[in-house]
Structure formats: structure tokens, C-alpha cells
């Protein structure tokens, strides 16, 4: 798909990945309607930090993904919906699971029904590697069993299956994009990489972390965006689930040590009980098999392997070093 001139709706455009994706689409010449969460401050989330030329080109739709009427209006006239709006914090899902059902499952249903009512608008639905749970084998391909090890991942499994059901039941042109652990500028401190960086840049003598042994497949946000667009544009991906990751696995402990090296610091690591997941909820290993996305789209991550990971970390650190960016975070408090 040539994005130039296409009318595209991005839900969750105010968030971490969504804002990067929205900016990339604008630069590709798309006509972007950015669905942001309504608030009385008239904040567009991270899009408030976009270049003025990007902001001037956007059709901002402030609403709530849980409201089917607003979603229907937002989808009206769009050729493609890139659906990223969701609740993503795993710890918060332990004590507020209802909100995850309403946002992640019902919100996705609203998007699908609106796309169907529009006559079959293409939908690229965002999943998460968390739906796989702890790996039963690696690398994890798209046929790996799904395991809901947190209320968050359970609702994402439900949303994914709803999207695929609309493809099978109504021939709605749907693709499920399954990114692994995206990191980079603008990521919330609920994620481990910003947690480490912000604590160190704030002058902490030790870094408070949870479990160090779990491994993750970290994907730099620029790669996630390019992979997402490649999958969303490919006719071969219709009705498919497609992983987007780096194809590189590293432990949380080794991730912390890589950041320490880049910052020239040697802090102690302090175990923090409040940052630990319940034992059976912790996902011990995530490592993406990206053969399918390669074969269907030709996409390749630019930040794969240890060298690529460290290059992405360096870009992330550079962003956090800017006082205006670091000042948005609260490094001395645990972000649920």
C-alpha cells in the first residue's frame, strides 16, 4: 500500500507507539485522523510534542474507544484503521481488570463493527507478545499456544480472537500485528528500560528493579513502526497474525548492565518486591520468530542483535537526557 493520500485512522495516536506511527504516516503523505483519549485539558498526549507541521496536518478526534458511537464517527470515511488504543500496564490490570475488558476487548469490538458498517474498512489490530506467556519453545512463532498469565494478556487474547473472528465470519480485511517488547523515546516508566534510565539520570546510587532473569525480545520503536506499516500494507497478511520483533533475546539483568555501560555508571541493583509479578504471572521468556513477517513483507529490523539493541538504547538515552523529557517522569516513584 502506498500511504500517500490515504485516509487513515490511528487509534491510540496519543500514546507511545501510536504517536511515532502517526508522525511516520504524516511524513509518508497519508491523511491521518488521530484518535486521542478525550480529556478536559485538551491534551493530545505525546502528539503535543510533535513538530508543528505534523500537528497542523492532523485531523484530531478526541473520544473514548469504549464508546461505539464515537468510534463509528471516527472510522467514517477512512480506508484503513491502525488500532493501537488499549490499556497496557500489567500491574494495573491486577486490581482493575474490568477496565481492561472494556477497553481492550469491547474497544476492539467497537472498531471492528465500525469498520464492517463502513463497508469493509481494512483494520490492522495491535496485539502483544504477552499473549504467548512464558515460551514453551523458542523462537516463538505465530503458532505458539496462547497463555493468559495476567488480566492484561487475557484481554489482548480476547481482542485478537475477536479481530480474527470478524475476518472469518464477515470477511473483514483484518490483520493482527503482534509486536514484541517495544522501547524507545516516549515510553512510559511502567516499562523496564525507561525505569532504569530515568533512575540513573536522576542521580540514583542504586537502581530498583523486579525480576532480573526473565528475557525479552526488545524492538526499537522505529523498527516496530516500520514493521507495523509493512504488515498493514501487505495483502498477504490479511487474516494473519504476524510477529514484529528484533529476533534477539536478552535478560532484564543484562539489559540493565548494557544501560549502565552506555551511561558509564556502575550502580548496585536493589530488589524491589512491589515490582515483582505474582509467580505464576511472570513471563519468563519472550524471543520472537520473525520469519513470517520477513517472508510476507520483506521487512527487517534495523536494530537487531546486541549491536542494534545498544544503538537503540543510545538513541533512547539521548532523548531522556533532555531535561524537558526527563522532567515528565517521576524516577523515585514506582509507576504502576
Structural element, H or E, at residue 257:
helix 252-263
Q: Give residue 1's pLDDT.
A: 75
Domains contained in the chain, CATH given: 7-180+219-244 (3.40.50.720), 192-216+248-326 (3.90.25.10)
Q: Indicate if the pLDDT at residue 275 is higher than 80.
A: yes
Q: What's the chain's average pLDDT?
A: 96
Q: Indicate if the pLDDT at residue 28 is higher than 80.
A: yes
Can you tell me the distance from the alpha carbon of 282 to that of 120, in angstroms, rounded to the nearest whole number? 38
Q: Give residue 298's pLDDT.
A: 98
Q: Give residue 289's pLDDT.
A: 98
Confidence of residue 121 (pLDDT cuts 50, 70, 90): very high
- pLDDT per position as a tens digit, 248-259: 999 999 999 999
Q: Which residues contact 134 (CB under 8 A, 6 or more apart)?
A: 147, 149, 282, 283, 284, 285
- pLDDT per position as a tens digit, 136-158: 999 999 999 999 999 999 999 99
Contact 84, 12 (CB under 8 A): yes
How would you class 4 by CB atoms within 10 Å of its CB: exposed for 0-12, middle for 13-18, buried for 19 or more? exposed
- pLDDT per position as a tens digit, 75-114: 999 999 999 999 999 999 999 999 999 999 999 999 999 9
Contact 14, 46 (CB under 8 A): yes
Query: Look-up: residue for cell 508522525?
Result: 23
pTM of the model: 0.96
Q: What's the Cα-to-Cα distance from 124 to each of 105, 109, 192, 206, rounded to whole Å?
A: 15, 13, 27, 41
Q: Give residue 332's pLDDT.
A: 84
| Percent of the chain whose predicted confidence (pLDDT) is above 90 | 93
Query: Look-up: residue for cell 463509528?
Result: 72
Cβ atoms within 10 A of the Cβ of 313, count? 24
Amino acid at each position: 500500500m502506498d500511504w500517500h493520500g490515504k485516509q487513515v485512522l490511528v487509534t491510540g495516536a496519543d500514546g507511545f507507539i501510536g504517536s511515532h506511527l502517526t508522525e511516520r504516516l504524516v511524513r509518508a503523505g497519508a491523511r491521518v485522523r488521530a484518535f486521542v483519549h478525550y480529556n478536559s485539558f485538551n491534551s493530545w498526549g505525546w502528539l503535543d510534542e510533535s513538530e508543528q507541521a505534523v500537528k497542523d496536518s492532523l485531523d484530531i478526534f478526541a473520544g473514548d474507544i469504549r464508546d461505539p458511537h464515537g468510534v463509528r464517527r471516527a472510522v467514517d470515511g477512512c480506508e484503513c484503521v491502525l488500532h493501537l488504543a488499549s490499556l497496557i500496564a500489567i500491574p494495573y490490570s491486577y486490581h482493575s481488570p474490568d477496565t481492561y475488558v472494556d477497553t481492550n476487548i469491547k474497544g476492539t469490538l467497537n472498531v471492528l463493527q465500525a469498520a464492517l458498517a463502513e463497508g469493509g474498512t481494512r483494520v490492522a489490530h495491535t496485539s502483544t507478545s504477552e499473549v504467548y506467556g512464558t515460551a514453551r519453545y523458542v523462537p516463538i512463532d505465530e503458532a505458539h499456544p496462547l497463555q493468559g498469565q495476567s488480566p492484561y494478556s487475557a484481554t489482548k487474547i480476547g481482542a485478537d480472537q475477536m479481530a480474527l473472528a470478524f475476518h472469518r465470519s464477515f470477511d473483514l480485511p483484518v490483520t493482527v500485528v503482534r509486536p514484541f517488547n517495544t522501547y524507545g523515546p516516549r515510553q512510559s516508566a511502567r516499562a523496564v528500560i525507561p525505569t532504569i534510565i530515568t533512575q540513573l539520570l536522576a542521580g540514583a546510587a542504586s537502581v530498583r528493579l523486579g525480576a532480573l532473569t526473565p528475557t525479552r525480545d526488545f524492538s526499537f520503536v522505529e523498527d516496530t513502526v516500520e514493521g507495523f506499516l509493512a504488515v498493514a500494507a501487505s495483502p498477504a497478511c490479511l487474516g494473519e497474525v504476524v510477529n514484529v520483533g528484533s529476533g534477539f533475546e536478552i535478560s532484564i539483568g543484562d539489559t540493565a548492565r548494557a544501560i549502565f555501560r552506555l551511561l558509564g555508571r556502575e550502580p548496585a541493583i536493589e530488589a524491589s518486591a512491589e515490582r515483582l509479578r505474582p509467580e505464576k504471572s511472570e513471563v519468563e521468556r519472550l524471543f520472537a520468530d520473525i520469519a513470517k513477517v520477513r517472508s510476507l513483507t520483506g521487512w527487517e529490523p534495523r536494530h537487531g542483535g546486541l549491536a542494534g539493541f545498544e544503538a537503540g538504547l543510545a538513541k533512547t538515552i539521548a532523548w531522556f537526557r533532555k531535561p524537558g523529557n526527563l522532567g515528565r517522569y517521576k524516577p523515585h516513584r514506582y509507576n504502576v
